[in-house]
A and B are shown apart, each in its own frame.
Chain A
């Protein structure tokens, strides 16, 4: 590097820059300079080239983009002299990545250097390949590198580089490197005396063994030999000992390699290995020197991992736990952290839990450590080691910690406390206590799931009800209580407040006034709960208390005009109902018991956990829940059969009855048929329906008009039966609903069941679309035989990238799907998806949300643009008009929103008649190109169920399809996603949902359309 003045000057210039701006200017100037020089090739001496390339590297290091001169850097590689060649190699490996095209140009030079005689050049070439070698390199160079590695004439220097270079090539493209028969070579390599080569070879071995351990079983004894050699410090040169420890890195690697072999069969080898491990376990002590300490503990922790892997004898295990116990009490934070983490891993091994429990108090101390990572590990460990015997202590400790914990940890903490309390509660009142305390202390971090769960337990356990009610009452006396607490209290008191009636301060009137005091301060979602509570209080007051009735009615009256639909509706309904006497009693009877199901909390925790915690969770689900909860529940909390397995599996094609049987457990049968609408009940349940099945939650889209016997909404368009026949899994969410939601937005969940979630993300540009399917395995075991097949309708060209056959546990695979719209059509593509979970085959036919509206682009026109176009479309077939009846009544602004939501832009003010809407959009397809579409909707203010629709465009098919599409949207209202069924009362009379008739012509010749029609 001598005599490179230009470079030194440039660097000192940069260092002298006062600010970022000056630095940037200097860099720009230099880049310009380099650019000009590179252009003028004739005067470019190798020296100059080298200098400039160094400068480029320096600029690159400063964080600037260097997007030229790569060619010059690569060309330096073929320079004959070392200094140039070296620069070429270094800069190339820094600036270029493995996919860069220029690298191909260099391959031959690199190869020549590798097979050449010059050792220095070999090293440079191997280094480059080791750092950025891609597929091309693997294919053309692997055999040469392999030769170098086993060559006896090469110096160790070259061979260790060759080993790691091969490792890189193998890792990148295992298929391009031929390692058949390498087991013997590897075994030979492991006999190497030079520890440098040995270190590199062991790295290579780790990669090879992790890929296929059987082939390399001959290497196993060699690894043990290496460990023995190091542990006894035999034949280890001084330079390879690090603070007195014989190459800790090699020890770690050798032990890592051993962990890839399932077991060690040979008793003598096993014995030898255990001797080494024993020596490591015993011989490690905490010393003053940080470096020595770290190095020896690195070896020790690896040894621990190996011991766990080998399933050692109990004695050795307890020795390990004892060691770990020592570590979690040392001062060095790194070691304390690792001690806790490894103890958590240790939990996976059976039989050691009792030993770990001895350290409980020390772990709890770690919960107060100044380092947050240590606190997190301690929390994980406590969570993992909790069982019936220590739950009370641990949960109470967590609760105490909750008030001091930082915000970022509180949610996790409260979730974990809630789960532990639920799983291991010694008795139920304790559980209620814990959860209420939890809400009291960290209300903001207690998710709805937690309080839903406590409500479920209280509802399902009669003995618990008076206790819970009195507890809830107590909390209400506090000056400031959290809103979540108010929700629970209100709910519990509404249901069970009457059980307390004889206690002082607990009469209905007193309960009402204490709750009502809080009402002005709460947010909107809480008000409906309070209203329900009032209604229930009123109902439980027998004989009726006119005073209370007056007060409560006043509240209902007040909220009858509330802007929030939910509140308004409840107020109206409760008011009407409470005048009805007997019917009131029926509707507001105590909530029936909830069906048992797996705790949503545990599910949630499984979603939230990161990899480090997984082990704990897994362990958690294996353990038996405590007796208290099992006795109280009809089924164990963790019981395998999901209770909501859809009751009608085959034979039935009546979606109505599916929906009904789904809501059965919620006590539909309680309803007096005379009461206004069965919807009411599901409404009452709505916000409280904890984890309700799709059929019974209905809170949105309810106009105030429904009290007069308006149409009942029954869940499930015709898609439901199709799904049910094929599958035995419980679906999460409604497929039709998800599909309709996805028609209007570009990302979301398409399908979900307990094993898999399929999400979709789409981008649309003109007539092209790019969708990505995200298939996430929710299980801890793989899903196999995964198949995804697209059945495209004739008008779409779909290209789905191959989906892997297996989705590994907890992994997500992505599969891009290219869509091209050829001509206008409303037909929908169908994804035929199936997978195997265990032996259970699950398949589903899913509609792909590549609907007509996705190829529309919003377009707003002025009247000068609109009317000439409109007039130019003279009549059929370019302009079609139809009177549409049976339209779902919508106010004009809502209708305008609906249109805008599928990209047909309403142009306000164009039509002189305020009851009419005028809209425009652009449609893209291959056959039509970009085509303007216009539409006009004339509504009848007297009868909102009918309107006149006129659609025009330059293409007859497009006009027809768009008109039909708009019609479908107006009739079915996909947003609420429920097929409209005429009011038929709650009786069993099945009513066919209004399914859109697919055009018969398309049905006949197009399998995709045929299926889409069926769905």
Chain B
């Protein structure tokens, strides 16, 4: 990891890691992990399927950059998608 750094955070037994550029702001990414986990948390209460994780991630991060930082926006979007099923 000479050119990148790994930022990770542990939630119980689960590690969330992001690999970011050496110049990126560490704390900002650390918190984005937390935001992601909060969003996941919201979903773990109702459903838990592997595709959901991908879907949420797709709404949250795209092309390696944060896309949406509003929890509500993501969750609304998720229920929208669910209706399509």
- Which residues of chain A have a CB within 8 Å of any CB of chain B? 1-2, 11, 54, 57-58, 61, 82-83, 87, 90, 94, 120, 126-127, 130-131, 157, 160-161, 164-165, 167-168, 171, 195-196, 199-200, 203, 237, 239-240, 242, 247-250, 252, 256, 291, 294-295, 297-299, 301-302, 334, 338, 610-611
- The CA-CA distance from A424 to B51 in the complex, in Å, is 61
Contact between chains at B2 and A610 (CB < 8 Å): yes
- The CA-CA distance from A535 to B29 in the complex, in Å, is 65
Contact between chains at A164 and B62 (CB < 8 Å): yes
CB neighbours (8 Å) of B28 from chain A are: 248-249, 252, 295, 298-299, 302
Q: A168-B63, A610-B2, A611-B22 are in contact. List 11 more A-B contacts (CB 8 A).
A: A58-B50, A90-B55, A196-B68, A196-B70, A200-B66, A239-B73, A240-B70, A249-B28, A294-B31, A295-B28, A295-B31
Contact between chains at A295 and B27 (CB < 8 Å): yes
- The CA-CA distance from A164 to B66 in the complex, in Å, is 9
CB neighbours (8 Å) of B55 from chain A are: 90
Contact between chains at A164 and B67 (CB < 8 Å): yes
- The CA-CA distance from A203 to B21 in the complex, in Å, is 14
| A contacts with B: majority SS | helix
Instruction: Give B73's nearest chain A residue, CB to CB.
Output: A196
- Which of A87, A167, A240, A297 is within 8 Å of B65, CB to CB? A167
Instruction: Give A119's nearest chain B residue, CB to CB.
Output: B80
- Which of A94, A165, A199 is within 8 Å of B54, CB to CB? A94
Q: Mark B25-48, 1 if CB is under 8 A from A, else 0.
A: 111101110110000000000000
CB neighbours (8 Å) of A167 from chain B are: 63, 65
CB neighbours (8 Å) of A61 from chain B are: 50
In the complex, what's the smallest C-beta–C-beta distance from A96 to chain B, in angstroms?
Answer: 15
CB neighbours (8 Å) of B31 from chain A are: 242, 248-249, 291, 294-295, 298
- The CA-CA distance from A242 to B72 in the complex, in Å, is 12
- The CA-CA distance from A295 to B69 in the complex, in Å, is 13
CB neighbours (8 Å) of A130 from chain B are: 62-63
Contact between chains at A195 and B69 (CB < 8 Å): yes
In the complex, what's the smallest C-beta–C-beta distance from B3 to chain A, in angstroms?
Answer: 8
Given the known A-B contacts A1-B85, A120-B81, are A199 and B69 also in contact in the complex, defined by CB atoms under 8 Å?
yes
- Which of B26, B66, B69, B77 is within 8 Å of A240, CB to CB? B69
- The CA-CA distance from A248 to B17 in the complex, in Å, is 20
Given the known A-B contacts A90-B54, A334-B26, A334-B27, are A250 and B63 also in contact in the complex, defined by CB atoms under 8 Å?
no
In the complex, what's the smallest C-beta–C-beta distance from A331 to chain B, in angstroms?
Answer: 16
Given the known A-B contacts A196-B68, A334-B27, A334-B30, are A131 and B22 also in contact in the complex, defined by CB atoms under 8 Å?
no
Instruction: Give A58's nearest chain B residue, CB to CB.
Output: B50
- Which of A2, A157, A301 is within 8 Å of B27, CB to CB? A301
Is B12 at the interface (CB under 8 A from chain A)? no
Contact between chains at B72 and A239 (CB < 8 Å): yes
CB neighbours (8 Å) of A164 from chain B are: 62-63, 65, 67
CB neighbours (8 Å) of B81 from chain A are: 120
11 A-B interface contacts by CB (under 8 A):
A11-B50, A90-B51, A157-B77, A164-B65, A199-B66, A200-B65, A295-B27, A298-B27, A302-B25, A302-B28, A611-B22
- The CA-CA distance from A165 to B31 in the complex, in Å, is 23
CB neighbours (8 Å) of B71 from chain A are: 239
Is B84 at the interface (CB under 8 A from chain A)? yes
Contact between chains at B27 and A161 (CB < 8 Å): no
Contact between chains at B84 and A131 (CB < 8 Å): no
The residue among B50, B67, B77 with the most chain A CB atoms within 10 A of its own CB is: B67
- The CA-CA distance from A252 to B66 in the complex, in Å, is 12
- Which of B26, B51, B62 is within 8 Å of A161, CB to CB? B62
CB neighbours (8 Å) of B34 from chain A are: 291, 294
CB neighbours (8 Å) of B27 from chain A are: 294-295, 297-298, 301, 334, 338
Given the known A-B contacts A90-B54, A165-B62, are A199 and B85 also in contact in the complex, defined by CB atoms under 8 Å?
no
The residue among B2, B22, B35 with the most chain A CB atoms within 10 A of its own CB is: B35
- The CA-CA distance from A199 to B73 in the complex, in Å, is 13
CB neighbours (8 Å) of A291 from chain B are: 31, 34
Contact between chains at A203 and B65 (CB < 8 Å): yes
- Which of A2, A94, A196, A610 is within 8 Å of B69, CB to CB? A196
In the complex, what's the smallest C-beta–C-beta distance from B15 to chain A, in angstroms?
Answer: 15
Contact between chains at B70 and A131 (CB < 8 Å): no
Interface size on B, residues (CB 8 A): 33
CB neighbours (8 Å) of B73 from chain A are: 196, 239
- The CA-CA distance from A611 to B31 in the complex, in Å, is 25
- The CA-CA distance from A130 to B50 in the complex, in Å, is 21
Instruction: Give A81's nearest chain B residue, CB to CB.
Output: B84
Instruction: Give B50's nearest chain A residue, CB to CB.
Output: A58
CB neighbours (8 Å) of B69 from chain A are: 195-196, 199, 240, 242, 247, 249-250
CB neighbours (8 Å) of A160 from chain B are: 67-68
Contact between chains at B84 and A82 (CB < 8 Å): yes
Contact between chains at B25 and A298 (CB < 8 Å): yes
Contact between chains at A165 and B66 (CB < 8 Å): no
Contact between chains at B67 and A200 (CB < 8 Å): yes
- Which of B22, B64, B85 is within 8 Å of A2, CB to CB? B85
The residue among B25, B32, B73, B84 with the most chain A CB atoms within 10 A of its own CB is: B25
Instruction: Give A133's nearest chain B residue, CB to CB.
Output: B63
In the complex, what's the smallest C-beta–C-beta distance from A558 to chain B, in angstroms?
Answer: 50
The residue among B22, B54, B63, B84 with the most chain A CB atoms within 10 A of its own CB is: B63
- The CA-CA distance from A242 to B71 in the complex, in Å, is 9
- The CA-CA distance from A338 to B27 in the complex, in Å, is 9
- The CA-CA distance from A1 to B47 in the complex, in Å, is 10
In the complex, what's the smallest C-beta–C-beta distance from A235 to chain B, in angstroms?
Answer: 14
Contact between chains at A252 and B25 (CB < 8 Å): yes
CB neighbours (8 Å) of B67 from chain A are: 160-161, 164, 196, 199-200
The residue among A87, A195, A252 with the most chain B CB atoms within 10 A of its own CB is: A252
In the complex, what's the smallest C-beta–C-beta distance from B27 to chain A, in angstroms?
Answer: 3
Instruction: Give A300's nearest chain B residue, CB to CB.
Output: B27
Question: Which 7 A-B pairs give the minimum distances between C-beta atoms?
Answer: A298-B27, A168-B63, A298-B28, A203-B65, A164-B62, A239-B72, A239-B70
In the complex, what's the smallest C-beta–C-beta distance from B18 to chain A, in angstroms?
Answer: 13
Contact between chains at A338 and B26 (CB < 8 Å): yes
- The CA-CA distance from A252 to B32 in the complex, in Å, is 12
Instruction: Give A89's nearest chain B residue, CB to CB.
Output: B58
- The CA-CA distance from A611 to B28 in the complex, in Å, is 21
The residue among A1, A58, A237 with the most chain B CB atoms within 10 A of its own CB is: A1
Instruction: Give B61's nearest chain A residue, CB to CB.
Output: A164
Contact between chains at B30 and A294 (CB < 8 Å): yes
Contact between chains at B68 and A1 (CB < 8 Å): no
In the complex, what's the smallest C-beta–C-beta distance from B35 to chain A, in angstroms?
Answer: 7
In the complex, what's the smallest C-beta–C-beta distance from A52 to chain B, in angstroms?
Answer: 14
- Which of B22, B25, B51, B72 is within 8 Å of A301, CB to CB? B25
Instruction: Give A247's nearest chain B residue, CB to CB.
Output: B69
Given the known A-B contacts A82-B84, A301-B27, A334-B26, are A249 and B32 also in contact in the complex, defined by CB atoms under 8 Å?
yes
- The CA-CA distance from A195 to B66 in the complex, in Å, is 12
- The CA-CA distance from A87 to B54 in the complex, in Å, is 11
In the complex, what's the smallest C-beta–C-beta distance from B84 to chain A, in angstroms?
Answer: 5
CB neighbours (8 Å) of B49 from chain A are: 1
- The CA-CA distance from A610 to B5 in the complex, in Å, is 13
Contact between chains at A242 and B35 (CB < 8 Å): yes
In the complex, what's the smallest C-beta–C-beta distance from B72 to chain A, in angstroms?
Answer: 4
Instruction: Give A57's nearest chain B residue, CB to CB.
Output: B50
- The CA-CA distance from A160 to B72 in the complex, in Å, is 16
